[in-house]
Structure 1
């Protein structure tokens, strides 16, 4: 076995084996067509009922394309969500629903969550000192549908790296916006309570936040977020600034536990896995919940994996039904030119030539449909990716892979086998009766 064979993935090896099995059948069909000079006859049959043939091809192409496109889209969505969760090592929140907190903290979905108090913040800060970095994530306000998150300048650097423009915030009334927020550096705005459209009528008119920087694109919902010092969120609600001195202009930790207003979640970023697991074990108890967003997302992906299997089965079943419908249509269509076939037999054409002609005709339609299905799948994947990216804020870049090519090849193989049915049916017709029509 050549060494390059072992370098191929399992799907690529399966595809190569399938191609090796199909090649003799395709070459045999090509040889028969060449030997009996069937090309002019095939061209005549195709052009004689052009629109009907094109309808059959379109039906197969749409069936294959949509089935393959949906499976590829699921893989692209899974990859995009996993990429977003990479920035969130460990999240500590009040006891409750891990999935709900995952959606709220990582994907910025609106959620009402209990707050962690100053004592819990102090405990986490002391446990993480020297081995991890922590940042509060306070949410609940918005501006024109863009979520406002109260955190620290260090969190902004962790999320985006160097800013695309401007500087980090240094005061409670300053903010850094995501790449997709329509606010310019230097522009001011008034945040509003909540995240619904009605929230705009309940704005913090006594507070103006000025944009001082813009993050680089992250390909996540955070591109539509506005991040400001957590002190700004607290002050907007009349809760103080989290420091012992209420007039202290400092932003960021350390916070005074007795003056800490609370935060829905604390993000912990660690340098190694042992530290992360130690902190998770320590703070996952009765008074707090600590979870790895990646682990929770893996469970969701496991569910999506089951859905992928179901979608694959449904796609295959749909394609089998379409192939059966097309085969039935080809059998009916072949009756329209049964008199021509009977005339060929009367002139001395052997039965195997008639068989090869009908099989080649049916295989041509099914084969073209399966191949064009790749083009339909390519277009469907990019259209669905654009729509989902716009709705979720995720950068979804789905594309066709070996698994999808494998599915199309399997559909083509099934089509070549199904093409035998109209050919066998044509041989069973009585020549004399066909000539009398």
Structure 2
């Protein structure tokens, strides 16, 4: 029967495979997104911003999605950086870009913290130097001019300032792989703002330590903390790392103040989003099951029709003395082979689809989305095959009820 009705059988297998592949792909891709976004937020213990939307500010600071946000002043930063148990307090500055890569201004300490490994090249030590993410298409030693703004509306020649790439971060699997990181003083400077340091104080300190360099050069090359609150232009977000887990909770509580600051754990915000995604996952799973049930039903209807097509062959076997259970087994095995083959092909198709979608999502979001597979996908396919094989008994039973003499005369 498979040889004679091979094209019809192939159509049935393809329909079942498509339905199973969609279900497997939906479940596996949702899990991959969950794992990828969680890994991307691992390096951000606490984020402190002005009061507003935690989700918006998490997307801006962790995932580098452009947004307008109010700024925290220098006194607030000094209080956070000087708080007990704060091991790292790195301000962020956004707003510029190089092609599709966002430019982020911050401190060398945060770059070291996020890199979690040695850089290719070295860290920036001057305001015209930059460290790029692993996926940024800029080579070491290459110069670039950042554009003001992000996307199609960016002004390519607004700043007229060149930077040189001196280092490259290792692959982190986060949107920072696609970012260009420069000293935050440089971001403030190209926008005509103060640089966070008192030039007179820098000059005195430098003069006491080294008389060989010029005064202006000393002030210009002062990078990173401590920042002078009087010369601190503001920052939309401060990435904070505590020296212990208990201290992290204490700092979040301390710097969550109405109308002043908002401190949050990106992991907690993600958990809230995952709860919503869990509801969506349940809805998608139901949709996948319903679609598979409809496909199985349509295939079974086709099998009923197909049984009518080779009813004369079954009648000949019955006339030759074949028992009813044999005929029933033949039809059931034929139906089960089609449904089982479709499920197996669909499982393979779902794996390939998930792999392809993961690569596309990783390229578009900058997040390393893994193509993972687990028991949920196998349970889905196994459940479908089990139910389908039970339902395949229906056309087999129907084949036994066909009138033998009438079919032989036909």
Partner SS for 2:123: coil
Q: Which structure 1 residue ranges, 5 or more long, are not aligned?
A: 1-44
* Cα offsets for 1:48-72 (capped at 9, x unmatched): 0111101111111111112111110
C-alpha root-mean-square deviation of aligned residues, in Å? 1.2
Specify which of 34, 40, 49 is matched with residue 5 of structure 2.
Answer: 49
Cα distance, 1:283 vs structure 2: 0.8
Structure 1 counterpart of 2:241:
269
Structure 2 counterpart of 1:154:
109
Cα distance, 1:202 vs structure 2: 4.2
Cα distance, 1:399 vs structure 2: 2.2
Q: How do 1:16-31 residues align onto structure 2 when only pairs under 5 Å count? A: none
CA distance in 2, matches of 1:157, 1:332: 68
Structure 1 counterpart of 2:58:
102
Q: Which structure 2 residue ranges, 5 or more long, are not aligned?
A: 201-215
TM-score (norm 1): 0.88
CA distance in 2, matches of 1:284, 1:436: 87
Corresponding position: 1:329 with 2:305: no
The 8 Å contact of residues 190 and 203 in structure 1, kept in 2 or not, is answered as no
Corresponding position: 1:184 with 2:184: no
Structure 2 counterpart of 1:133:
88
| Runs of 4+ with >6 A deviation | none
Partner SS for 1:211: strand
Corresponding position: 1:73 with 2:29: yes
CA distance in 1, matches of 2:108, 2:330: 73
CA distance in 1, matches of 2:69, 2:263: 14
The 8 Å contact of residues 142 and 195 in structure 1, kept in 2 or not, is answered as yes
* Cα offsets for 1:279-322 (capped at 9, x unmatched): 11111112111000000011111111111111111111111100
Corresponding position: 1:242 with 2:196: yes
CA distance in 2, matches of 1:428, 1:322: 25
Q: How many residues align?
A: 391
Q: How do 1:244-259 residues align onto structure 2 when only pairs under 5 Å count? A: 244-245=198-199, 247=216, 248=219, 249-259=221-231
Structure 2 counterpart of 1:232:
186
CA distance in 1, matches of 2:242, 2:255: 15
Structure 2 counterpart of 1:212:
166
Specify which of 395, 408, 415 is matched with residue 368 of structure 2.
Answer: 395
Partner SS for 1:373: helix
The 8 Å contact of residues 175 and 229 in structure 1, kept in 2 or not, is answered as yes
CA distance in 2, matches of 1:74, 1:415: 26
